[in-house]
Copies of this chain bind each other. A is one copy, B any other.
Amino acid sequence: MNFEEAAEKALAFREERDWSQFHNPKDLAVSISLEAAELLEVFQWSGADLEVARKASKAKEELADVAIYCIYMADRLGVDLAEAISDKIEANDRKYPVEKSRGNSRKYNEL
């Protein structure tokens, strides 16, 4: 299954339940934040354990939830997600020149 097929499946799931009526952009942005928090919760109190390997399957599920809401938001905004990602990478390419940012985690405004 490729991503486009998975996205179709997610949209069909929503259609069957008639949930797009709740999916305005503001509430979708709220939901993406909430799902991101559930993913982050996997790492709460983990200290210097940056992997928390025993919860990898939980992390996978929560990551899927974030991605699903991204699909719903893209659909709601009329955005092609692949194209939006590609455009953003090109913009980042200009903001973070390889020679300045290689091996360096600083933000572009601190380079």
Contacts and interface: CB of A to CB of B under 8 A. Distances in A.
B85 A6 contact: yes
Contacts of A66: 32, 36, 66, 70
Given A4-B3, A10-B89, A25-B51, A67 B70 contact: yes
Copies of this chain assembled into the complex: 4
Interface residues of A, number: 79
Contacts of A25: 42-43, 50-52, 59
Interface in A33-53: 33-52
B101 A79 contact: no
A16 B102 CA distance: 7
Given A64-B88, A65-B88, A67-B67, 5 more contacts: A3-B81, A9-B89, A10-B85, A33-B33, A63-B84
29 contacts: A2-B2, A2-B3, A3-B82, A6-B82, A6-B83, A6-B89, A9-B89, A17-B101, A19-B103, A22-B47, A22-B105, A24-B51, A25-B59, A26-B49, A27-B50, A29-B36, A29-B43, A33-B33, A33-B37, A34-B37, A34-B41, A37-B37, A45-B105, A48-B48, A59-B73, A60-B79, A64-B87, A67-B85, A68-B89
